[in-house]
Amino acid sequence: GAGVSQTPSNKVTEKGKYVELRCDPISGHTALYWYRQSLGQGPEFLIYFQGTGAADDSGLPNDRFFAVRPEGSVSTLKIQRTERGDSAVYLCASSFYAGGGTDTQYFGPGTRLTVL
Amino acid sequence: GDSVTQMEGPVTLSEEAFLTINCTYTATGYPSLFWYVQYPGEGLQLLLKATKADDKGSNKGFEATYRKETTSFHLEKGSVQVSDSAVYFCALSDPGGSQGNLIFGKGTKLSVKP
């Protein structure tokens, strides 16, 4: 079946602009995660949704970052007043949440964000 | 807080060589442990996992054993192929938490030469 998809694959924007990154999880997956991967680093957790609600947003770096999942499927990560330090690959993952931290997370191909 | 430390790369091996990529972790609970792989131009994909102490995860000739006493989850393969060239990430998920988000190491780039 279809995997996790993310759009756009690449986004170039100017400092101070607003951007939206979209994630379509695997159908039926209730858990959805956003991560950020900087060059040469492993992915870092940003936010986790269980259904429509953000169960944990402790990884969001500041209040310029916000994410929604209004119908419990597609999610949008929103970044206001972008800064050059926001440049990274933004990864989305989904899982069929069974609890206990044993779930396999399936990752999308990522959105490469470049802030000029 | 929880963390993962894996050996720095890059690692360059000849085809059919033995591979070990070290991974150690720090966690307050009893985490599940994962190895993810990122092939050139592709997204992250699960290679193997182990959810409790002494479990061995295996896939595509790769193996890793969950060692609680040494807090380690080293990745091994007996005979690597050129197609194994990729970046490998060790990760943990703390089952004591409600979210199950993954904490990753920095990744180890493996290059296998024919």
pLDDT per residue over A41-79, tens digit each?
999 999 999 888 888 898 999 999 999 999 989 999 999
Which pLDDT does position B59 carry in this prediction?
97
Distance CA A80, CA B25 (A): 35
Interface-testing mutation among A37, A107, A112, with chain B (most B C-beta atoms within 10 A): A107
Cβ–Cβ of A107/B103 closer than 8 Å?
Answer: no
Q: Is B113 helix (H, G, I), strand (E, B) or coil?
A: strand
Q: What percent of chain B has pLDDT over 90?
A: 75
* pLDDT tens by residue, B11-68: 999 999 999 999 999 988 788 999 999 998 888 999 999 989 999 999 999 999 999 9
* pLDDT tens by residue, B5-27: 998 889 999 999 999 999 999 98
B-contacting residues of A 64-83, CB under 8 Å? none
Which pLDDT does position A56 carry in this prediction?
87
Those residues whose C-beta lies under 8 Å from the C-beta of residue B35, and which sit 6 or more positions away, are: B23, B46, B47, B48, B49, B57, B62, B64, B73, B75, B88, B89, B90, B91
Interface-testing mutation among B7, B23, B44, with chain A (most A C-beta atoms within 10 A): B44
Q: Average pLDDT of B90-104?
A: 77
How many other C-beta atoms are found inside a 10 Å radius of the C-beta of residue B32?
Answer: 26
Q: Please give the distance of CA A113 from its chain centroid, rounded to a whole number.
A: 12
Cβ contact A93:A105 at 8 Å: yes
Which pLDDT does position B17 carry in this prediction?
97
Distance CA A13, CA A113 (A): 8
Choose the closest CB to B43 out of A59, A103, A107.
Answer: A107
Q: Average pLDDT of A21-34?
A: 94
Choose the closest CB to B98 out of A55, A108, A109.
Answer: A55
Q: Can you read off the two tokens belonging to residue A113?
A: 């964000």
Q: What is the distance in angstroms between the Cα of B32 and the nearest Cα belonging to chain A?
A: 6
Cβ contact A85:A63 at 8 Å: no
Is pLDDT of B114 > 80? yes
More confident residue, B7 or B110: B110
Cβ–Cβ of A101/B32 closer than 8 Å?
Answer: yes
* pLDDT tens by residue, A74-115: 999 999 999 999 999 999 999 987 566 678 899 999 999 999
Going by their DSSP bridges, the two strands B108-113 and B23-26 should be labelled as: unpaired
